[in-house]
Amino acid sequence: MRLTDTDRSIGRLAIPALGALIAEPLFLLADSALVGHLGAAQLGGVAVAAAILQTVIGLMVFLAYATTPLVARRMGAGDPRGAVAVGIDGLWFAGALGLVVAAVGGLGATPLIALVNPSPEVAEHAHTFLTVSLLGVPAMLIVFAATGLLRGIQNTITPLWVALGGCVLNVGLNAVLIYGLGWGVLGSAIGTVAVQWGMVAVYVIVCVRLARRVGATRRPSLAGIRLGAANGGWLFVRTLSLRASLLITIFVATKLGTDELASYHVVYTLFSTAAFALDSIAIAAQALVGTSLGAGDRERTRLIVTRCIRWGVRCGLAGTLLMAALSPVLGNLFSRDPQVLGMLTPAILVMSLSLGLGGYVWVVDGVLMGAGDVRYLAAVGAVNLLLYLPIAAAVWRWAPGGVGGVCLLTASFTIGYMLVRACTLGLRVRGNKWIAIAA
């Protein structure tokens, strides 16, 4: 297969972005693997808390997704000082927003867990994990904003090294706290929060040096913050619909039983990890599309979109083969419970079938973000959620317990919901309105 210059540009951004994108799911994989050997109740508690935490953090992912195209379009227009300045504004906004989110989340931890309706034992572990983990929310939001800035200037190498260092440190520290000191679920949360703040320290140093190099101000600009917030607000709505679909799926899983909930958590964690890995191509699409549109080059924009979609689908299908091949052994990394292990292999196989479709969805989503087509993303996100509700309701009403229920639930989300998104996002990219919006 002959690689074009566009393919090389995609790879130059996507391959390093892979490490940064999978940092958060690798944190959760490490937590799940270490906590899973404590028991099904502990793993179930982390599942509930992680779903809430991912929802809170995921709703704020616009800090990266709104920042990247804003920075990229300024870079394409030949304004590096303005590009870095708008990225710095994102860091200030992220820090302030993170403090507010952590405070509100701490006050609402108990009712949030109750909404999922877990058993009392699972709820206790969920409360411990969630309340401590909220201390890391400001850190993760700052990481999002800093990563968005660096992606916009097409630097995905630095986030790679920060992510790799964070993951290695997280696994080692959590192992010591969970088992060495015997802190269990509490130790897992403390270790992850400590590593998240360490990542912030590195990013702040990098961004300050970058601002000095291009002569950009390091002080917050109200106009820049408003611009980022305006674009980010629509992406917030888009992400809200995505997280609502996740919580609905978790709610159905709790109805199936504790073992089923623990099994689905492992499957979703693997799916999320694959999603973040494949999203590396979407990140390349965001930066390259934003830069080419900033330069007014529509022909190159279309070429970038075509190549990114092809690579997204190819890598997704490769992920299907890899996940299917590893499905008999992956479960042993997360649990020793025979009931949980018995459900994992079939459910992982079902999930693996969705990755080619997912590769397409995540790329076209990234293309529209790079173009700044945020209002459409917000509107269609609500439509996708409404179309998914009857699918989830059918599983809640008729799915049996055990392996059959877990497989049906997995298929409803990873295949059913993703197919809906593929249709609504793909139709938009095939047209020209999203290009006109960025002009």
The model's pLDDT over 184-193, given as tens digits with 9 standing for 90+, comes to 888 888 988 9
pLDDT digits (tens, 9 = 90+) for 399-420: 887 888 899 999 999 999 999 9
298 exposure class (CB count in 10 Å sphere: 0-12, 13-18, 19+):
middle
This prediction has a pTM of 0.80
Please report the pLDDT score of residue 437 as a whole number.
66
pLDDT digits (tens, 9 = 90+) for 2-57: 778 888 889 888 888 887 666 666 666 666 777 777 777 777 788 788 878 877 77
| CA separation, residue 125 to residues 2, 105, 113, 184 (Å) | 52, 16, 10, 9
Q: Are 24 and 57 in contact (CB under 8 A)?
A: yes
Over range 232-261, report the average pLDDT.
86
Whole-number Å distance between alpha carbons of 16 and 129: 31
Q: How many domains does the chain have?
A: 1
Angle between helix 222-256 and 374-398 (nearest 10): 10
Residue-range definition of the domain harbouring residue 353: 5-438
Q: Are 31 and 333 in contact (CB under 8 A)?
A: no
Confidence of residue 359 (pLDDT cuts 50, 70, 90): very high
Q: Are 162 and 199 in contact (CB under 8 A)?
A: yes
Q: Are 394 and 334 in contact (CB under 8 A)?
A: no
- Could you tell me the two tokens for 26? 């690798």
pLDDT digits (tens, 9 = 90+) for 108-141: 888 888 877 677 777 877 888 888 989 999 998 9
- Could you tell me the two tokens for 231? 């674009």
Please report the pLDDT score of residue 368 as a whole number.
93
Please report the pLDDT score of residue 233 as a whole number.
83
| CA separation, residue 406 to residues 189, 253, 412 (Å) | 27, 8, 10
